[in-house]
Amino acid sequence: MLIIGFIIIIFLLITFVLLGVLRIYTSIQWTYTEEKQQVIIIMRILGFTIFKKDLSQVGNGAPSLTKDIKLSDLKHLRHFVIDNVRLELLRTKTVVGTGEPDMTAILYGLLQSAVSVISARLQDKGVIDCQLSANFEEAVIQSRGQCMISWKLRKTMRVWKNWKTKGE
């Protein structure tokens, strides 16, 4: 009986240590063209996929994602994201066009300056590769990319606990 208790205590200690150092990796892959709108979210711990969701049905008569999100929920997540989330990868290839060359130039300049600022701020935090181009002849928005972020599991549990206690 003493040996079983000792094994349980060691197992619990190992579990708590692992919870303190494990990172959750979330990968978001998107494709947006006229023919295809797809977003895939994958969450992994230790290389094992724990969550995978394909959101390609959003916008085709399916319920909107924003319907289920409350503003109070986002307040609790804001501090967690700013303090604890680490950008691992941001890769995107985007083409924009409005059909009018002057408006396309303004939109392209605005987006290019935003991409430059974001890339400069996050360059040391992970792999950043943002390619933006303009199509001056036709109205088009095409984007394909991948973003990967990570955070420690123990901080997730702490935020979830605070979120549940404040939400009730």
Q: Is 115 left (phi over 0), alpha (psi -120 to 50) or beta?
A: alpha
Per-residue model confidence as pLDDT tens digits over 12-27: 888 877 767 788 888 9
Q: Provide the whole-model pTM.
A: 0.66
Average pLDDT over residues 31-50: 87
Q: Kindly tell me the number of DSSP H helices and DSSP E strands found in the chain.
A: 4, 6
Q: Does position 59 have pLDDT exceeding 90, yes or no?
A: no
Can you read off the two tokens belonging to residue 95? Answer: 């083409």
Q: Read off the pLDDT band of 62 (50, 70, 90).
A: very low
